[in-house]
Structures are given as C-alpha cells and as structure tokens.
Structure 1
C-alpha cells in the first residue's frame, strides 16, 4: 500500500497542470461555466466524407484519401516538404514549410493516407498547406467538427471537454421571454447553443459554416441585443447626471458672431446648431457627436455652441489631437471672438512655463472664456473657473482617460450632487449607419449632410508613379495661374523595408525641378515654431508648393490650394485619403487630387483607390472603409468593444441591429430582470467598453 507521502508529488503535479490549464483558459476570458457555453466555434471542419481529389475546390476545407506518389524536399526559396497525393480522379500537392523526420516516414512514397485542410491555389495548381494527416482506415465522423478559438498550448480537445462539462452543469435558461421570441421569430437559446457545439448529422452544413443557420441567427441577435441594452443603460445613466443649463443671459453674442462670420450658415448647419442649443439648455449633460464630411463646416457649429455657453456665463474648452489642428482652431476662434470682447487662450505642450502662466491665470479666474489647445489642457495646473462645455475635435483619436480628464476639469460638487460639463464630440470621418446604430447608440448624433455653397466636387485622378514628371509639369502650370499645391508623402525618413519616397527627398527634387517656385517642407519632427511659420507662409501665398506628411490631414484650410498630390497613395487608409483630398476644393477654382501609386497593388489597395476614384461622398467612403477594415479606425478606443461583436457582422446583419434595438426597448420596459440577465450572460462586466 502506497504511503500518503508518496501520493503527494503526483497530486502536486496534477494541481500544477490544472492551474496551468486554468491560466490558459483565463487568457481567452474563459473562467466560469457561463463563459464556456458561449465560447462558440470559429468554423467547422467536415470529416463526415472523403472527397475525390478531382472535386477539390479552392477556398473549401476538404478531406481526401490517396497514395503518396512523390516526395520532394526543396531548398529554395526555403527548405520545405512537398508531397504529391493521387487517387483515381487526380493529383494534389501537400506542402509543409517546416517538418519532422517522422513526417518523412509517414508520407513516404507508396503510403496511403487521409488528409484534411483548406484547399488553396498554389504555383503548380491546387494544394493543401500543413494539412492534418491520419490513417485511411479510421472511421468517418457523424457530424461536422467544431474548431474553437484557442491560444498557444491549448488543444481543441481540452476546450471541447471543458465546454461539454459546462453544458451538462449549467441550466441554460432563456433570457428572452417566449412572447418576444415569437415576435422576433427566434429559436430557443439552449437548443441553438447545443446545435452549434454538437451539430446533428442532418444539419445544413453550408448554413452552419456560413453562419446563416437559425441557431447562429439567434446567437448573433443575442449578442447585438446585449450591446443595445448596455448602450441604453449608458444613455439612461447619463440622463440622471446633472449639468448646468446653458441658457443665454442676453442672447446677443451668437448674433454678433453671425455678423462677424461674413457668410450665411447652410440649412444643415442651422439644423445642427438648433439641436445642440436645445441640448445645452437642459439640466443633464449633453453628450452629442457632431459628424460631417470634410469641409462641411463643423468648426463654425462648434463656435455657435461656444457662444451659447459663454453668453450663459460659462467657460469653453476646445481640445484637438495635434498641435497643428489645435492651432488652426485657435486662429479661427481668435478671428471670430476677440473682436467681440471674448478672450481666447492657447495651451500647448511646446509652450514655456512663462508663456503658459498668463493663460493658466486667465483660465482660473474666468477672464479667459474660451481656451483652445492640445492634451496640455488636461495637465495638472490647468484649473477652470467654471467650465460649462467641452469640445473634442477628432474625438476618436483621444483615449478614454484623456476625454474623462478634460470633462472632470469642470466637475463641481459632491459625488451625489456632482455637476459635470456638456460635451460635444466632432468627427470629420463620417460614421456608417450600421456602426452608429451598433456602437454609438448611447450618443445623440448630429449630421451636417450639406456642403457650403460654392464647393465643387474634387476631381480625382489615378496615375502610376512613372508619370511623375507629367504631374510636376502640371504643378508648374497651376502655379503660373496663381494657384498653390500640396504634395503629401507617407514617411519623413527612408525606410528600407518599404522603400518609399520620402518627404525630404521629394522636397529637394521639386525645389530643383520647379525653378523660381518657393517650395516648403512640413512634417511632424519640425519644431513647433517652424511648423507654424511654414503654414503661415503657405497660407499667405509666399510658399507655393507645400511638401508634407499627414500632419495636414485635418484642419488645414487654404482656399487658394487647388491641387493635391498624394505620393504612394496605395499605402494610405481610405479614410485618410479622403481627409487629405478634403484639403483642396475650398476655393472658387476647380480642384484636383492626384493619387500616385506604385505597382504591384494589393487587392485592398486596389479597392481603396477604386473607391476614391468613384466617389467623393464621405458617407459612401466610410461605408466602403468599414467593409474593408472593420470598425476599429472609426471608433478609436471604442474598438475595445469590437471584440464584443464576435459573431454578428455590421456588414451583413444590419436588419438584425434594427430588430435588436426594438427588442431592447421592450425588454427594458417590460422585462427588466430578463434584460439584466441577458447583459450578464453576454458582457459580464465588459459593458464599460461600450460607454467610453
């Protein structure tokens, strides 16, 4: 009989192994039974049938049986193993980029094997790369085999075993009442879940793998519903917060500002100004997103909101992500407000303590009613007298903490009676409708869907880099007519990996080619004062061609510049290309944007350039960009919430988002306990990702 002491090492090793496994599961967010049951397959592999090699189809995961007729070890471009497998209907190549001696024996000529993997189109026809190899006499599976999301060191069988245990232990109550399931034609939750983990033999395999099966539809609906419930709760929570009603004491500052502008607002701008004015007059904080295409006039709308706040006796803070953009706002606000007796302050990280001191004092004593700046606004030492409105431009570029820090500068009172500032978020990147419905449903959204009078669409031309000299000749002609030109490059310093033309090289080349033309160079590594001087020289017409990096992406407004050349356009994102194009077309003359590209073009790059050529509509651009890249770029730090949409697709499930919104209202109003249980099942504490 073994002693107790002899059993301890074995138990210790078992406990250590269990703890290691638990840590690996935890890395995937899998800790409780409730986590495991909704850890659903990424895809399914079909092990129910053996296909003839002649029926192989690229893009499909298929299983074949045959005889190895040739084994080749190649040395170039790298050492790899190639095996030719043959059956009665044809041949297919199997390829391993790294392999072991045991595989050479298993795949020796004359051996019969069964292989499974995704069929791809290779240099010499169809092939399987790193297929799974088994013996041909093994039985076939009765059902599709689920493949789960995993991490290093976790085997599929370990995941499946733990899921099966959770399914046996956990009561799978439906979080949706039967009445709502019938109204929205949804199958039972427990039955759907079990089907996805253990597909029956007669399941529609294609529907299951394409995620169009009713069981998948239920899961996707539940996920979207949890998101909508969380966002609705966030909106309700904000409505309970307190803010100062910004009711104008005199009402004449806005009228004076309108006279100062020198132009009439568009109908769309007037509509949005009224929406914001209504929000600012309420006793709970405004949390509104102002979006519009490039050049639609968001800054003047923000100025109107600022006028209302200032006229109500409160201060306004406007924060932008880059010093160049912040300075553009500062100059406009000074031009509009200081003649009306309003002091506008400027704060940036490049200022000296001596330069900052009078601004900080003015902000603290209330003499400075409007302060514009970068993240310097949220640094220690910046104290407001009474901050009533926070304006964030290009808000998706700020982190959650940065947004909250500025807002907290204006919080007053004890926790239970705290009063917080109103907040206006601006974005020049239009948000696609599906994205707004699914991730921004807790915000009020205002859209400027009309361009100011006199704006003509920019003509976009796609040219190979080999036609560079033609472009330079056209630049010279434009300058002779009194116009100005942007030339944008993606990098400042040479990158051996990308071998891109640099801004510095382009600057020297254009200065040499364009005799008698003043060429300027602007990039992020220049000292702040030098950047300001170059921009002022370009604005005044002293500099005729501005070679720049993407620091000019937003905020730069030079109406006389009517030609934009973008070097290596294939390297830019679609939204970024559209923003850059928006720097021209602001004057009376026809504007042109030339996209210089280098071959070969990737499929995504080709789609981007095609979209830029076909449309100048920012909302259409945004829709195409969402399809190409997903929601991350639009949402900024809200992309943390992107992981919450593991199953639903913003592209193909738009109708379901609308249904989930409708269902969320009914669930919150009529079945609050069900609503709470639903959010707990799908989000479990991660709701905050959606509320930032």
Structure 2
C-alpha cells in the first residue's frame, strides 16, 4: 500500500533536509548561520542598518566636496603608483568630458581588472577636493553598460559578519521575500482598536511593510525610517509586541493548568502555633507594611493547587530575605522542602547566616550546598536533601547553581526561591523547575500528573511599569516599596580621580572613628584594552597609604569585638582583598573578618554587589564609576546605609589628561547623585540603555523584542495587550499562527 500523501510529503521534506545537511556549506552560508538567518522569515526580519541612494546619477561637474554621490564614466587612465605605499589610481570621464579621480590604498587584482582603460563604471562614494581635482577614495564600483537602468529603490545595507558580502545577503533576502507567504493573522477587531485608526494596519499588511523597509522608495523621509515612525515600522512593531503579549498570556494559561502542592497556612492542626507564626514571634524587628502585604500575597498563592510564578521586587535593603523566610516557613510547615538559589557564594552564605539564625532555633534543618565544598561534606549534604524530614532530612536548602546539578535529588520539593533571578540563565532556572517535577504525582480522576514547585523569583532591581507589562506579563509581581525604619540616608558624591588624596584622607578619618569602608574596582588584572587600575594594585596602594602615613589609631565600633587592626595585635589598619578568583574558603575568611568588624577596609571587585550586610560600613568608594551600569552602581551603593549612622557613596571617575566622560556616563552619574530611589533609578536606566540589564538572562541572547522600543511605543504596547486577550478568547487559531511566525522556539524562555 503506498504511503499517504501527508506521510510522503513529510518523508520528502526530511530527505531534502538531509541532502542539504550532507552538502558542504559555502563561507557565506556558514556566516548566515552564525547570524541566525536559517529561514525565510529570519531573513525577512533581518532589516537594514541604513540605505544608500543609487537611484540617481550626479554629473561629475556638479559634485561637491563632502557629498555622498554616485557618478558614471569611462576609465581613461589606470595605474599603480608606488609612493609611501602602493596605490591604485584611476581616472574616469563622463559623457560631458569632466573627470573624477579614484584612489585605492588597498586593492585586489580584480579591482585592477574592473578599472581597466575603456571600461564604463558606476562609482559611489564621498567626494573630496584633492590636489589633482575632485576624487573619491575607496568608492564602490561596478561595471555597467551605457544607458544601464538605475535602481528604483534605496539600496539596503545590512548588518553582516566576516565572510558574508552585502551582495550575497541582498540576494538571499530578496529570494526569501519572494518565497514568503504571510497571510493576515490580525482579526478585524484588532484594526478597529488601533490607536492611529484602522487604515494604518489595513494599508500596510506585514508583507508590504517588510518589502518597503527592505527597499524603500527614494522619496521616503529617511528620518521616519531612522526613528521608526514610518507606518511600515509601526506595523512591524505592533505585530512583534502582539506576538510577545500572546506568548506570555499563553504561558500564564498553561501555568494555571499545571499542578503544584497546596501549601496552606496552619496545616499542622491543633492549637500549636505554625512555623510561620513562630518565626514572626522571634524576629528581632517588626515587619513593614509592605512586607506584610507581600507575604500575604505569597501565602495566598502557595495555598492554590497551581504553581505560583511570582516576581518579588524591592529596592536595595527593603527586606526581601525575611519575606523569603516567611514563605519558606509556610512550605516547611506543610511538610515540603524549600530551596533558595543565589548567584554567588557570598550572597548565598549571607542568606544562610540569616536563615540559620532565624529558623534553626525553631527546629528547621538548613543545608548548605555550593561548588567549593569538600567531598565528604557534599556527600552528607546530598544525602540529607534526599531524606525525609522526619528522618533528619534537610528542610531548607540554600546554595548556588550547585543545587541544580544532576546528583541533587530532593525528597519532596514544594517551593523554589531564586534570588537575583536576572543573574541566572534560562537553562538554569528551567533545570530548577525540572528538579521540582521529580517530587511526586498528583492524582486527579485516576490520572497521574507531575507536580512542580511553586516559584518565587526575587530581584533588587526594581522594574519599570512598561517593562513589567511587556517582559513579565506572565508573572505576578509583588513590590516592596517601603524601607525598614532606622536606615540612614546615603549621600552620593561624584568626584574626579584627581581628588584621590582627599578621598584617602576621608577614609582615614572614617576608620579612626571605628567605621568600615568598601572600595570597589572594576578589574582584577591589568588590561591593555581597558586602562583601569586593578584591585590588587589598589589594595597595595591603600595598604601603603593608610598604614605608612601617620594617623589616629583606629577605634572599634560600638559593641564590636577586636579593634580594626592587623591580626596579631599591630596598630595598623587591616585591609582585605576580595575578588572572584580567590578560592571559596579565602573569600569566606575575608568576608568573615569584615562582617565581624576586624577589617576596616575591603577592596573588592563587584562580587560584593548584592547580599553583603554590614551595618557598620558607612562609606562606599566606586572607582572608575563611569564604567559601571546604573543598576549596578545602585546595587553597590546599597551596601552602605544599612545602619543608623550617616553614610556616603563616592563615585570616582577617571579623566586622564582631559575630561573624557561620554554623554551616557554623565547621565548615569548624574542620576546617582540626584536620587536614592531605586524605582526612579530603574526608570532612568530604561531611558538610557533600554531593557537589557533588567531582563538579564531571561532573553538568553535571543531578545523577544527586536524592533519595538518600550520607551516610545507605549501606545502600541497597550494595543497589543488588548488585542492579545481578544485573540486568545475569540481567535485562538490566529493567535497560534501569529506566535509561531514571530517567536518559534523562543517561547520556551517564558517557562523560566
């Protein structure tokens, strides 16, 4: 019996793919693959960086110095001159008898052949007024026949890579556009609610918009193309935003169908207080109103049978850790395990210290898992994680990415907390979710269904509203918008490195008062590419400056143990060095000295960006602050101001022989000096740099938005949100087609 047509078609397609796979790829094909241009749709969406106007010819007599122009003529002279270096010199003459010199400082034999005497060529380049008359240096050249037609549209110039010529890429894009069939996926209702009126969408279907953006007419406003306000651009951005909103609503719907353990408050029963209430009773401080509100939101989510997928955002020092501890208490009280994953050992160890202090007295067994553990300790921890709590198993596991490794098997995982979630890759967060799904089966109607954990993701980088609407529409967002009482305001100063001696004197005074200081450097070693002082050199410089120069003996902070001196009882200042290449044990030892108050100054790279909590530290110095992102500067500043003493952050910028701060760096430093509000910092960061750092690894190198700009396309985003809800409710088939066209496999990023 012959195969069915659908089967035969599938076999034929598979054979074609195999044939293509067996055929060696050319250099341009390999280059296209590196750019991710593997389909007609990807090629169609590979839009030009700029355009060249090859639609007109300018007579040579009318060429002016500085013009970017196209001319045509016959080669009358062509020679190679040897001066300081070899040059190819050619002179062309147009039909009016005027001449133009062409100069090539680097050339190939093929160019010599193209510019042979008697050949008619069309050249395009910048006109210069030279000693020998008008000339072009390294113009684009091509052989033409007399009367050859001119281009009818602007010529696109595409983003490319080595081995992929523009001509090859233009042909590939043109073939893709010819083959591509793009049926309309927008329902009629979507046209009616368009903010600019239905004609914009109706007059510019997707295929027409793409055709136009690849080959715009010469009369088009280049400004409208560059600022993406042309109707063709609006259509493209609207479709992209719609695909993103659809995918996130689909992710939310799919999440609601999945199963998770029901972790309700008070599951112990009887009159005994639950772990959650016990923890509230022993905390050495009262919760803020925001902490109570957010904890209640999380508790309601945990009590539902579908998995929580919540983002907890809060400014530096807003108290996210205690909210996480309360959520963990609800989970543990219900008989399940909780895991907290942090991006660095320093941050994870800070969490462990607080959680052990709070929960161990209440009978909770806390386990620590990190990459630097000794074999025996690691084996014992793994056994405790895979053991039931009633048998002495771990109830709360804290660690780095080591918690998602293959050897880690949880006994009964109910809640996964990911701190600084944007610092983790998508694959890492998905791996944590898969760990949860090993935990058991829920039985409904006789059918088994995998159980997965509730997920709580935390971020100290507040997310602007437009970004939350766009990239986090699949999440519930809780916000800690209130700082605990007793936090001192942080004064931020921006100063030049030329005032470094004054700053060191200020540090000496702070140490003499018994306070502690951070000094943050951006590099560990010298770099030829980036002329920055490294942490090791800075540590040596400050050690010499603060211990060799006369100064008052340091006093211990009130209530602290030993004086801020060198080990062994000397009178000098103990100055620590911390960077990512130190062994884990050394990092922990350095931090332990600083936290205990025995170390006055800590010179560090950005490994202290998050999680370090030393109330006695009152001064933060960030060297080469112009090199840091705004969000990172705000995170670093948050390491001080954690006690009742007045605190300061000094942003030390480099000038060299003359000021060299760029506009973006100036805007960042100005924002830091003007506000301590993390939400305002986040808003300005989005304006300055776009969404990159807020999203972090959620994009995983494949941004869900390539064309829309959240800072300027708010109306389009509102339209996309309304249209997405309408399509999922009334046009689910169109919705599926739209998402598949735009996102393909990138929808998987939303699962994390």
TM-score range, shorter chain: 0.7 to 0.9
Q: Which residue in 2 is equivalent to 1:47?
A: 54
Structure 1, residues 288-312: CA drift from partner, whole Å, max 9, x if none?
1111111111111111111111122
Structure 1, residues 580-627: CA drift from partner, whole Å, max 9, x if none?
111011111221111222123344433332332233222333333344
- Flag the 1:84–1:365 CA change in 2: closer, same or farther, 3 A: farther
Q: Which residue in 2 is equivalent to 1:181?
A: 191
Shift of 1:476: 1.2
List alignment gaps of at least 5 residues for structure 2: 1-18, 95-99, 129-134, 442-446, 548-571
Range 635-644 or range 234-243, more displaced:
635-644
Q: Provide the rounded CA distance (Å) in 2 between the counterparts of 1:170 and 1:501.
A: 54
| One of 677, 681, 688 as aligned partner of 1:617 | 677
Q: Provide the rounded CA distance (Å) in 2 between the counterparts of 1:502 and 1:201.
A: 52
Pairing 1:535–2:543 present: no
Structure 1, residues 612-663: CA drift from partner, whole Å, max 9, x if none?
2233222333333344444333323222364442322233223212211111
| One of 320, 325, 334 as aligned partner of 1:312 | 334
The residue correspondences of 1:545-584 to structure 2 (distance < 5 A) are: 545-584=601-640
Work out the number of aligned pairs and report it: 668
Q: Is the 8 A contact 1:119 1:128 kept in 2?
A: yes
Q: Provide the rounded CA distance (Å) in 2 between the counterparts of 1:615 and 1:533.
A: 34
Q: Which residue in 2 is equivalent to 1:246?
A: 263
Shift of 1:422: 0.6
- Flag the 1:128–1:228 CA change in 2: closer, same or farther, 3 A: farther
Q: Which residue in 1 is equivalent to 2:566?
A: none
Shift of 1:193: 3.3
| One of 490, 495, 510 as aligned partner of 2:522 | 490
Structure 1, residues 116-173: CA drift from partner, whole Å, max 9, x if none?
46899xxxxxx99855346898764332223344454444444444544454554432
Pairing 1:633–2:643 present: no
Q: State the superposition RMSD in angstroms.
A: 4.0
Q: Is the 8 A contact 1:22 1:31 kept in 2?
A: no
Pairing 1:682–2:690 present: no
Q: Which residue in 1 is equivalent to 2:157?
A: 147
The residue correspondences of 1:391-402 to structure 2 (distance < 5 A) are: 391-402=417-428
Secondary structure of the residue aligned to 1:498 is: coil
- Flag the 1:578–1:669 CA change in 2: closer, same or farther, 3 A: same
Pairing 1:63–2:88 present: no
Q: Provide the rounded CA distance (Å) in 1 between the counterparts of 2:258 and 2:666.
A: 48
The residue correspondences of 1:107-506 to structure 2 (distance < 5 A) are: 116=124, 131-133=139-141, 140-184=150-194, 185=198, 186-187=201-202, 188-189=204-205, 190-200=207-217, 202-248=219-265, 249-250=267-268, 252-363=274-385, 364-366=387-389, 367=392, 368-411=394-437, 412-413=439-440, 417-506=449-538
Q: Provide the rounded CA distance (Å) in 1 between the counterparts of 2:649 and 2:141.
A: 54
Q: Is the 8 A contact 2:311 2:475 kept in 1?
A: yes
Shift of 1:31: 4.9
Normalised to the residue count of structure 2, the TM-score between the two structures is: 0.79
Normalised to the residue count of structure 1, the TM-score between the two structures is: 0.85
- Flag the 1:589–1:218 CA change in 2: closer, same or farther, 3 A: same
- Flag the 1:208–1:502 CA change in 2: closer, same or farther, 3 A: closer
Q: Which residue in 2 is equivalent to 1:653?
A: 713
Q: Is the 8 A contact 1:631 1:639 kept in 2?
A: no
Structure 1, residues 407-453: CA drift from partner, whole Å, max 9, x if none?
33332346951111111111112223333222222111112122222
Q: Is the 8 A contact 1:44 1:209 kept in 2?
A: no
Q: Which residue in 1 is equivalent to 2:550?
A: none
Q: Provide the rounded CA distance (Å) in 1 between the counterparts of 2:528 and 2:731.
A: 61
Q: Provide the rounded CA distance (Å) in 2 between the counterparts of 1:339 and 1:322.
A: 26
- Flag the 1:553–1:107 CA change in 2: closer, same or farther, 3 A: farther
Q: Which residue in 2 is equivalent to 1:123?
A: none
